[in-house]
Amino acid sequence: MTDLTPAVLERPTRISVARYLDLVVAGALSEDDRVELLEGVIVAMPPANPPHDAAVTRCTYALIRALGERAVVRKQCSFVASAWSLPEPDVAVVPGSLDDYDTAHPNTALLLVEVADTSLPQDRLSKSRIYANAGAPDYWIVNLREGLLEVMRDPDPATAVYRDVRSHRAGDTIELAAAPGVQVAEAELIPPRR
């Protein structure tokens, strides 16, 4: 006689940031593994193409020029967004000084930037929820597909959404929400289309 009782599906195991970092220390994950931890799941990051790398470099330089010593600009480094998420934003502006991050990843950000081409759906949906939940006052998506900058502000951590979402095109200048007076031109961030 055959048992027709359906199998009970177990919930997938989520990995905490602490466990994920243990995997790095143990050598199970290395710097060569292009992955990040999102909502307790290890997610592969797509390979970067030249326009992506150019935009990341442009954003980094523009923000360093605009901010000077007011904050730290980090390129493709880990950010502790929650106990379950350790994304690697393309660019992060974090408070403090360089020395503050010698022994720990930041868990507060003034601005997080993702450069998006193939990752656009994930950056708009998953990453925006993770960053809003973390309370980052500014989240920018450098949208290479459409040649524009998507600016998300006014995070509601309770619902994990940004209440103010706007698009900026060439010619626009954007002021950082957490750094009044600091402005960056959209044209400084996006490589020209060829």
135 is a domain residue? yes
Count how many domains the chain has.
1
For the beta carbon of residue 115, count every other beta carbon within 10 angstroms: 29
Burial class for 23, CB neighbours closer than 10 Å (0-12, 13-18, 19+): middle
**Residue matched to tokens 């939940």:** 133
Bridge-based pairing of strands 138-143 and 111-116 is: parallel
38 is a domain residue? no
Cβ–Cβ under 8 Å, residues 76 and 67: no
Burial class for 102, CB neighbours closer than 10 Å (0-12, 13-18, 19+): exposed
Bridge-based pairing of strands 148-156 and 41-44 is: unpaired
**Residue matched to tokens 């923000």:** 63
Cβ–Cβ under 8 Å, residues 73 and 98: no
82 is a domain residue? yes
Give the model's pLDDT for residue 47: 85
Give the model's pLDDT for residue 104: 94
Token pair in block for residue 101: 């991050």
Q: What is the pTM of this model?
A: 0.91
70 is a domain residue? yes
E-assigned strand segments in 27-179: 35-38, 41-44, 72-75, 91-94, 111-116, 138-143, 148-156, 161-168, 173-175
| DSSP symbol at 13 | P
168 is a domain residue? yes
Residues pairing with 168 in the sheet: 149
140 is a domain residue? yes
Which CATH number characterizes residue 100's domain? 3.90.1570.10
188: three-class secondary structure by DSSP? helix
Cβ–Cβ under 8 Å, residues 133 and 82: yes
| pLDDT digit string (tens) for the chain, length 194 residues | 566 666 666 666 899 999 999 999 999 998 888 999 999 999 998 888 999 999 999 999 999 999 999 999 999 999 999 999 999 999 999 999 999 999 999 999 999 999 998 889 999 999 999 999 999 999 999 999 999 999 999 999 999 999 999 999 888 999 999 999 999 999 999 888 76
Cβ–Cβ under 8 Å, residues 36 and 45: yes
- Residue 94's domain comprises 47-189
Give the model's pLDDT for residue 94: 98
Type of residue found at 190: I
14 is a domain residue? no
28 is a domain residue? no
Give the model's pLDDT for residue 13: 83
Q: Which of 66, 59, 91 is nearest to 187 (CA)?
A: 59
